[in-house]
Amino acid sequence: MILVTGGAGFIGSNFVLDWLAQSAEPVLNLDDLTYAGNMQNLASLQADPRHVFVKGSIADGELLTKLLAQHQPRAVLNFAAESHVDRSIHGPEAFIQTNVVGTFKLLEAVRHYWAALPLEAKQTFKFLHVSTDEVYGSLSKDAPAFTEQHAYEPNSPYSASKAASDHLVRAYHHTYGLPVVTTNCSNNYGPLHFPEKLIPLMIVNALAGKPLPVYGDGMQVRDWLYVKDHCSALRRVLEAGRLGETYNVGGWNEMPNISIVNTVCNLLDELRPRADGKPYASQISYVTDRPGHDRRYAIDASKIERELGWKPAETFATGIRKTVAWYLANPEWVSHVQSGTYREWVQTQYAAA
């Protein structure tokens, strides 16, 4: 089996669902179910014996050692993290605890487990660390996109904590020979995305008749990738990525935030017009900018394409249409997330613990 950490979050749950739709190999899913972890994302796997869920932290070395010994995974994929830049500005400590200390504890447990594996299992084992393009910092308007050679220049507590985790992963390969691969991906969007991030926030606020808060002048540029394409890239890297390497993953799709917001508004105008006939874009409200806001990210994904033959299947036009349609088709998921009832599972399940 494979061990996935953070598999109840946005990308992790998409990954687990896609994996089990395509493979018979079981998944051990370790997630601490913070506010970002949602068991409803995995509801379709409730009766599936191939999905083994454990609530716990990657910072819990004892638990990790026990789980590794018990389940003997052939690979570990580390999605678990605090992931929201704005939260990292308001409260950076959780980011250091999970992204830095947690990754360190995970690496330690995995290193000891891997060192004791029989030769064949040892030779095929892989640790895939899921990271972000934000570690590279901000690009000027015309600068070439980030390649894997770009220097790390993280600018937020979030990106600094992810950069630290990437460095630890690299060091464990260099020093101990741990078979690692790291991916640095651009902004994901798609189903099951927590509505604190730009695209899902705009969709749910628009439908609720609330303002659509655009930071600063709205001209910050991000590269957007449909989440299922990120998942296919991770499967490919797990399968064939070269040990000790890093792979940039992106959608070749740079867009300013205001264009993203307008695209979402236009799709909603088409698919669920407002009762008063006004366009959703009339709800756009420019608000104070994010402190230290990175102006532009852009990913050069030619290495993963050249070496591993990976390419995104969705364009932004197809992916964003699927995404908006998913939110319109899943009002219950949205309302449970907004009301907080998605967290009741944690209380019910662990009330006696």
- Nearest partner of 200 among 158, 284, 261, 249, judged by Cα: 261
Span interacting with ligand DAU, options 82-90, 171-179, 274-282, 329-337, rule CB under 6 A: 82-90
Q: Does 60 qualify as catalytic in the annotation?
A: no
Span interacting with ligand NAD, options 53-61, 117-125, 142-150, 325-333, rule CB under 6 A: 53-61
Total residues contacting ligand NAD (rule CB under 6 A)?
31
Q: Looking at residues 214 to 253 of the shown chain, list those that interact with ligand DAU (rule: CB under 6 A).
A: 214-215, 220, 222
Question: What is the spatial distance between Cα 250 and Cα 229, in angstroms, rounded to a whole number?
Answer: 9
Task: For residue 215, list its beta bridge partners.
Answer: 287
Q: Does 33 bind ligand NAD (CB under 6 A)?
A: yes
| Residue (182 or 283) nearer to ligand NAD, CB | 182
- CB-count burial class (<10 Å; 0-12, 13-18, 19+) for 152: middle
Q: Does 158 qualify as catalytic in the annotation?
A: yes
34: partner contacted, choices ligand NAD, ligand DAU, none (Cβ within 5-8 A by kind): ligand NAD
297: partner contacted, choices ligand DAU, ligand NAD, none (Cβ within 5-8 A by kind): ligand DAU
User: What does 38-56 look like in DSSP terms, one character per residue?
Assistant: -GGGGGGGTT-TTEEEEE-
Residue 292 zone, left/alpha/beta (φ > 0; ψ -120 to 50; rest):
left
| Residue (51 or 162) nearer to ligand DAU, CB | 162
Question: What is the spatial distance between Cα 271 and Cα 325, in angstroms, rounded to a whole number?
Answer: 8
Q: Does 132 bind ligand DAU (CB under 6 A)?
A: yes
Q: Does 246 bind ligand NAD (CB under 6 A)?
A: no
At which residue do the structure tokens 């604190």 appear?
A: 196
| Residue (156 or 188) nearer to ligand NAD, CB | 188
Residue 133, both tokens: 């393009």
In angstroms, give the least distance from the CB of 145 to ligand DAU.
13
CA dihedral 158, 159, 161, 166 (to 10 degrees): 150
Residue 92, both tokens: 């950076």
The residue ranges that bind ligand NAD (CB under 6 A) are 5-6, 8-12, 30-34, 36-37, 57-59, 79-81, 83, 98, 102, 130-132, 162, 185, 187-188, 194
